[in-house]
């Protein structure tokens, strides 16, 4: 079955804060905030999720041009290092040498939803609202192929992902959509036309570069200092 294609909407950047939500303890406990400083002369801020000990999954565009990355959970912070970075899929992995979530992790799904099974699946994504994190209700509307640009807004690319029904706001980049306790997608953009529509990247089907970088190191042709 051919997947529907959509075009670029709005890239997101984020905020920081502490975690507090009683409805989805595990995703909240594994969520961190990411603050990046660099050549943009502004803070790049987003949300990440610890998917394995010492590894944080997030959106790559919040890290573009960074020279210092701080990963924070509650009142604990650690310096982060980019260990995988995909400018086309807008996915990144950050390594931290401190267990700032006290062992809390959310593993990625080994069998992400298919075109036939994705519709109307419900879950949550931990996002920043006011002074705290909350587990935002999310419904997958459909599986899609996203036609867009790379992280730098230049070359065209396509990304496997999902259309979401959720109240995604600027600042929610990198939030992990969790369904039945497993990570399904990374929040990437929101609709300009419809308040409750957004899109997320499938890090399993779109994660070949990330897995390669994690195993073999980042391709030296990728300039991590580029804005």
- pLDDT tens for the chain, residues 1 to 227: 445 554 434 344 333 333 333 334 589 999 999 998 887 555 568 899 999 999 999 999 989 888 899 999 988 999 999 999 999 999 999 999 999 999 999 999 999 999 999 999 999 999 878 778 889 999 999 999 999 999 988 889 999 999 999 999 888 999 999 999 999 999 999 988 888 999 999 999 999 999 999 999 999 989 888 88
- Residue 219 belongs to a domain: no
Predicted pLDDT of residue 9: 41
Contact residues for 161 (Cβ-Cβ < 8 A; gap 6+): 143, 144, 145, 146, 185, 188, 199, 200, 201, 202, 206
Based on the domain organization, do 174 and 92 belong to the same domain?
A: no
Domain hosting 157: range is: 5-12+106-201
Based on the domain organization, do 73 and 131 belong to the same domain?
A: no
Q: Where are the alpha helices (DSSP H) in the chain?
A: 25-29, 208-216
Based on the domain organization, do 138 and 150 belong to the same domain?
A: yes
- Residue 220 belongs to a domain: no
Residue that is last in its domain, among 74, 105, 136: 105
Predicted pLDDT of residue 104: 94
* Separation CA 38–CA 141 (nearest Å): 36
Predicted pLDDT of residue 8: 39
Based on the domain organization, do 118 and 197 belong to the same domain?
A: yes
Which is nearest to 119 in space by CA: 3, 26, 207, 220?
3
What's the structural domain count of the chain?
A: 2
Based on the domain organization, do 56 and 136 belong to the same domain?
A: no
* Separation CA 55–CA 71 (nearest Å): 11
Question: Tell me, what CATH number does 77's domain have?
Answer: 2.40.10.10
Based on the domain organization, do 163 and 132 belong to the same domain?
A: yes
Contact residues for 125 (Cβ-Cβ < 8 A; gap 6+): 27, 135, 136, 138, 166, 168, 172, 175, 176, 177, 178, 187
Residue that is last in its domain, among 77, 105, 133: 105
Task: Record the tokens describing residue 171, joined without a space.
Answer: 């600042």
* Separation CA 119–CA 134 (nearest Å): 24
Would you put residue 203 in left (φ > 0), alpha (ψ -120 to 50) or beta? Answer: alpha
- Residue 216 belongs to a domain: no
Based on the domain organization, do 54 and 112 belong to the same domain?
A: no
Predicted pLDDT of residue 40: 59
Predicted pLDDT of residue 42: 53
Predicted pLDDT of residue 25: 59
Based on the domain organization, do 134 and 185 belong to the same domain?
A: yes
Based on the domain organization, do 23 and 95 belong to the same domain?
A: yes
Q: How buried is residue 148: exposed, middle or buried, by Cβ count under 10 Å (0-12/13-18/19+)?
A: buried
């Amino acid at each position: 079955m051919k997947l529907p294609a959509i075009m670029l909407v709005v890239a997101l950047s984020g905020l920081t804060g502490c975690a507090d939500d009683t409805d989805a303890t595990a995703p909240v406990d594994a969520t961190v905030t990411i603050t990046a400083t660099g050549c943009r002369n502004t803070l790049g801020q987003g949300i990440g999720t610890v998917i394995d000990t010492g590894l944080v999954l997030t959106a790559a565009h919040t890290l573009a041009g960074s020279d210092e990355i701080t990963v924070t959970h509650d009142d604990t912070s650690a310096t982060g290092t980019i260990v995988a970075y995909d400018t086309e899929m807008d996915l990144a992995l950050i390594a931290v040498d401190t267990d700032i979530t006290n062992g809390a992790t959310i593993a990625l799904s080994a069998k992400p939803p298919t075109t036939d099974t994705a519709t109307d699946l419900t879950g949550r994504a931990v996002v920043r609202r006011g002074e705290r994190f909350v587990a935002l209700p999310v419904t997958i509307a459909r599986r899609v192929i996203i036609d867009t640009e790379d992280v730098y807004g230049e070359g065209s690319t396509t990304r496997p992902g999902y259309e979401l029904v959720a109240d995604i706001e600027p600042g929610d980049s990198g939030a992990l959509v969790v369904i039945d306790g497993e990570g399904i997608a990374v929040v990437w953009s929101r609709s300009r036309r419809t308040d409750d529509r957004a899109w997320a990247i499938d890090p399993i089907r779109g994660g070949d570069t990330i897995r390669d970088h994690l195993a073999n190191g980042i391709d030296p042709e990728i300039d991590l200092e580029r804005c």
